[in-house]
Amino acid sequence: MPPTAQPTNTAAWIRTRNGAFEVGPAPCTPPGPDQIVVRNHAVAVNPLDWVIQVAGRVAYSWLTYPAVVGADLAGEVVETGSAVTRFRAGDRVLALAVGTDRDVDSPAQGAFQQYTVVPEVLAAPIPASLSYRDAAVLPLGLSTAACSLFQTTHLGLRLPVAGAPPAGATVLIWGGSTSVGVNAIQLAVAAGYDVITTASPRNAGLLTDLGASRVCDYRSPTVEADIIETLSDRTPAGAVAIGLGAAPACIRIAGASRGNRFVSVATAPVTFENGFSLPRTLTGMVGGVLRWQLAARRRGVRMKFVFGSDVKKNDVGPAIFRDFLPAALAEGRYRPLPRASVVGTSLAGLQKALDQQRRGVSATKLVVEL
């Protein structure tokens, strides 16, 4: 922190594996050369956060405790590392916290605290017109969508730019109203791609407004056949599979289509909503992945699971957080979605927010203001 400032930090700790949040003191950690410290004004919760809490020994077995989790944050820069030139103290930013990544494993870099150390490459300035609560919904959904669409190890599409010409190809995004989905639609459209997506009819209008050329009802018994028919006279650029049941459907569709038969998978083959059992989870995870891989191989389809913060390791991170997003937000070309729903005003409200998220939300993201 600056020499004249001696802030005190507080975090929502998970003291032991599978433990509930405990709010308590935390160190104020200075940034490394390529990092910034953000005073958080809003944090958002994701399914990943409660999955780590209830099933961390499977999903994040490397994580050490006590831990500070959380990925989505927005706030004010209070300190910058020696190599950082893009930000200065006082800047309003959104950022992706990576404290639970295997190669980081650092409480100082978790979002659920007052002061978080984040990589400069995963932060973006936000315009004065954008509130912290609305900005906080973006980072993890944005980075996961960007990884799926643009990394060379996934779909490898061209990057988004203002006024992108048509790419002449179509992306399938299964689960368009999810946090990843609404970002994937916007990013693909901004890169010049046609988008076909799935959602419930009540969310179809929103996704059309975001630029999707067709929104199919994922519950329709003919949805896969309808999408295959739509793609028959187009050039498929690949698929992003979000949500339970998405990967098998996308594998079947990609296998029946020409073009890029690649499925980027953003959802595991198991769910934890109804409780956690280690034997059942391990069996479901391993068995599900093997079934998907065999189905993909039989149909000549490639598939790969996405890990959103991978963009910190390659040119996709700066291409999105530095080169694209700041101007797109300032000019209104990019919308902060899903819509923010504020469910708390302190770190003490995080457990309630995670419990509510676990019960299920639709077309919104739960936010706690600090």
pLDDT tens over the chain, length 370 residues:
444 456 899 999 999 988 999 999 999 999 999 999 999 999 999 999 988 988 777 778 899 999 999 999 999 999 999 999 999 999 999 999 999 999 999 999 999 999 999 999 999 999 999 999 999 999 999 999 999 999 999 999 999 999 999 999 999 999 999 999 999 999 999 999 999 999 999 999 999 999 999 999 999 999 999 999 999 999 999 999 999 899 999 999 999 999 999 999 998 765 665 555 555 555 556 677 889 999 999 999 999 999 999 999 999 999 999 999 999 999 999 999 999 999 999 999 999 999 999 888 888 999 999 9
**pLDDT at site 1:** 45
- Against a cut of 0.75, is the pTM above it? yes
Q: What is the DSSP string of 283-329?
A: HHHHHHHHHHHHHHHHTT-EEEE--GGGGGGSTHHHIIIIIIHHHHH
**pLDDT at site 3:** 47
Closest by Cα among 78, 173, 152, 93 to 125: 93
Contact assessment for residue 207 and residue 214, using Cβ atoms and an 8 Å cutoff: no
Contact assessment for residue 328 and residue 190, using Cβ atoms and an 8 Å cutoff: yes
Q: What is the DSSP string of 193-210?
A: -EEEEEE-GGGHHHHHHT
Closest by Cα among 218, 170, 182 to 198: 218
Cα dist from 143 to 189, 220, 363, whole Å: 16, 30, 18
- Quick one: tokens of 83? 């190599």
Domains of the chain as residue ranges with CATH: 9-138+336-369 (3.90.180.10), 142-308 (3.40.50.720)
Contact assessment for residue 100 and residue 140, using Cβ atoms and an 8 Å cutoff: no
**pLDDT at site 54:** 83
Burial of 261: CB neighbours in 10 Å, binned 0-12, 13-18, 19+: buried
Beta strands 123-125 and 92-96, pairing class: antiparallel
Residue tagged 């923010």 (tokens): 340
Contact assessment for residue 363 and residue 41, using Cβ atoms and an 8 Å cutoff: no
